[in-house]
């Protein structure tokens, strides 16, 4: 289930970034990169686990759902930290003369 949650989040974030690509003031390109990276990582993990052990390819358990939302929260937190540090709209580090 965590693969589905992360892939859905990446699929939603990508058109949002593409729509605002000219003026990427919210750094959505970084969010897309994080989400697609973690989605590919989870996909490879699922493929390797399926080839080695067999069984289900996608777990549909409450634990897998919680793990998916926890990973999504971690990805969004990392994006927020990058957004705060880069401060593209100069909201935090505005010059006093302005």
Per-residue pLDDT of 39-79, as tens digits, reads 999 999 999 999 999 888 888 999 999 999 999 999 999 99
Give per-residue burial for 62-81: e unless 16+ CB within 10 Å, then b: eebeebbeebbeebeeebee
Q: What is the pLDDT of residue 96?
A: 59
- How far is Cα 98 from Cα 88, in angstroms, rounded to an integer? 16
- How far is Cα 39 from Cα 18, in angstroms, rounded to an integer? 19
| Averaged pLDDT, 66-95 | 88
Contact 9, 45 (CB under 8 A): no
Residue with tokens 């957004």: 83
| Averaged pLDDT, 17-32 | 90
């Amino acid at each position: 289930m965590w693969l589905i949650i992360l892939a859905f989040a990446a699929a939603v974030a990508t058109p949002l970034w593409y729509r605002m690509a000219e003026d990427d003031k919210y750094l959505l390109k970084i969010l897309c990169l994080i989400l697609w990276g973690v989605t590919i990582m989870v996909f490879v993990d699922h493929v390797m686990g399926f080839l080695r052990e067999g069984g289900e390819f996608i777990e549909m358990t409450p634990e897998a759902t919680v793990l998916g939302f926890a990973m999504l929260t971690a990805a969004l937190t990392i994006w927020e930290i990058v957004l705060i540090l880069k401060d593209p709209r100069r909201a935090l580090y505005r010059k006093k003369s302005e």
